[in-house]
A and B are shown apart, each in its own frame.
Chain A
Amino acid sequence: MHATRTPTQTGPVLRACGLRMDYGSGTGLVRAVDGVDLEVARGETVAVMGPSGCGKSTLLHLLGALERPSTGELWLAGRRIDQWSEKALARLRRSAIGFVFQAFHLLDELTAAENVELPALLAGRSPRSARLRASELLEQVGLADRATFLPSALSGGQRQRVAIARALSNDPEVVLADEPTGNLDSAATLEVLRLLDSLHSSGQTLVIVTHDERVAATADRLITMRDGSFVEETRLTHGTSARLVDLAGFEG
């Protein structure tokens, strides 16, 4: 699906150095993100876990240039962007970053297809090419037959799949997901995991902030965050089949 993308550089897609985010001041100062260094390679899936209030959502906002860090550097596809103007950042977010949120954030008045078309239209593509791209993406997330449905007529898992399709609209350098399964039951979680897994296989770069160990287990790398900092980083190995039968209750 990303056959048209030509890698512009070989370094990390996303790079943060000494990222810090303070809210308030004086005695009311809260350091939500406290000196984070991160490099995400092309095609990598990184999960960030941690207790509520550890700063992981703020971090995702910083990585997506939705908020400007108090200090530190942010690089996307080889370009340092933390000093860019608001206008330039808005343009960059539309074209190079895909966002997926816990609450889906679909526009209720628009059909699934129209929701997915929107980012392409905003990025200046022709209505025709936006429509083509949307139907391609809905096909990819297995919802071609729901293209004309309003979000209210879709299940939670389907809404999140539409939201993921929307995030892919402009072939983003990176997709940033904030608790993508936070509002979903177990079966719908599996639907979304299946999709994230296939994105991963197709080479999409993903950063996922999550509470859900199932989501984290599909990542290449898992980062644990506490009190605004990374306290641990694990490269996930995929356990053996023998371990699995053990866990299922077989006896050796």
Chain B
Amino acid sequence: MPEPVQLSVEAPFQGYQLQVVQEVLLALLAREASYGYQLRAQLQLALGPLAEALNAGHVYVTLGRLEKAGLVRSERVGQADRPDRKVYELTAAGRQRVADWLEDTSWPKPAPAEFHLKLVAAAAAGLADPVRIVDAQRHALLAGLAAAQRAALAETAGSVAGLLLEGVVLRLQADLRWLEACASYWASTKGR
């Protein structure tokens, strides 16, 4: 899968999705009933500067889907001076879904095999210097690391969103260390 060469600075920062939002909303409702605005605020706190990427309506749309699927039910509650709000609570099926999710140990896959084979193939075909390919990849990851680092430094010490950014940083760091090993290996095969 070719990596997008360079995302332009104007690339839209909004309209992203997170696959787990359904489960997250269910889990947030496990202790007590809540409403869209509050759930959204909880997500925003956890995501910090990345929260902007989520569509404003994403939480509401997802709650609607969960209700259709029978995982939550809602009730309209009147408020003084304001329109009614929908208060959501978990159904038994929803509770089961949360329990399953918390036990699930699947993990988003990193894909070293793809990049590894790209280097092997480039060397075998003599089309490109694997070390150059590694260097280009390194620059792309370093730019990502710089962005994550900047965002992490902007968080106050002890912020929960800072922990998310640290996850991004540490993963990139691991990838960069592997790229260093790739560079050493392919540099040492030159002239053999």
- In the complex, are the beta carbons of A193 and B149 less than 8 A apart? yes
- In the complex, are the beta carbons of B13 and A241 less than 8 A apart? yes
Q: Known contacts being A218-B149, A226-B187, is A238 close to B12, with CB within 8 Å?
A: no
Q: Known contacts being A51-B180, A186-B166, A244-B168, is A238 close to B143, with CB within 8 Å?
A: yes
Q: Tell me which residues across on chain A come within 8 A of B144, comparing CB atoms.
A: 239, 243-244, 247
- In the complex, are the beta carbons of B142 and A242 less than 8 A apart? no
Tell yes or no: A240 within 8 A of B by CB.
Answer: yes
Q: How many residues of B contact A (CB 8 A)?
A: 47
Q: Known contacts being A243-B144, A249-B108, A251-B16, is A194 close to B11, with CB within 8 Å?
A: no
Contact for B53 among A213, A236, A250, CB less than 8 A: A250
Q: Tell me which residues across on chain B come within 8 A of A234, comparing CB atoms.
A: 139, 142
Q: Tell me which residues across on chain A come within 8 A of B176, comparing CB atoms.
A: 213
Contact for B148 among A194, A236, A237, A247, CB less than 8 A: A247
Tell yes or no: A190 within 8 A of B by CB.
Answer: yes
Determine chain B's interface SS by DSSP, over half rule.
Answer: helix
Q: Tell me which residues across on chain A come within 8 A of B149, comparing CB atoms.
A: 193, 214, 217-218
Q: Tell me which residues across on chain B come within 8 A of A190, comparing CB atoms.
A: 152-153, 157, 166
Chain B 139-192 residues near chain A, CB threshold 8 A = 139, 142-153, 157, 164-173, 176-177, 180, 184, 187
- Shortest distance from the beta carbon of B9 to any chain A beta carbon, whole Å: 6
- In the complex, are the beta carbons of B142 and A236 less than 8 A apart? yes
- In the complex, are the beta carbons of B172 and A213 less than 8 A apart? yes
- A174-199 CB mask vs B (1 if < 8 Å, else 0) is 00000000000010001101100100
> What are some 16 contacts across the A-B interface (CB < 8 A)?
A186-B170, A194-B153, A197-B153, A214-B145, A217-B142, A218-B153, A236-B143, A239-B148, A244-B151, A245-B13, A245-B16, A247-B148, A247-B168, A249-B18, A250-B18, A250-B54
Chain A interfacial positions (CB closer than 8 Å to B): 51, 186, 190-191, 193-194, 197, 212-214, 216-218, 222, 226, 232, 234, 236-252
Known: A190-B157, A216-B142, A247-B168. 9 other contacts (CB 8 A): A51-B184, A190-B166, A213-B177, A214-B145, A226-B187, A238-B147, A247-B172, A248-B167, A250-B16
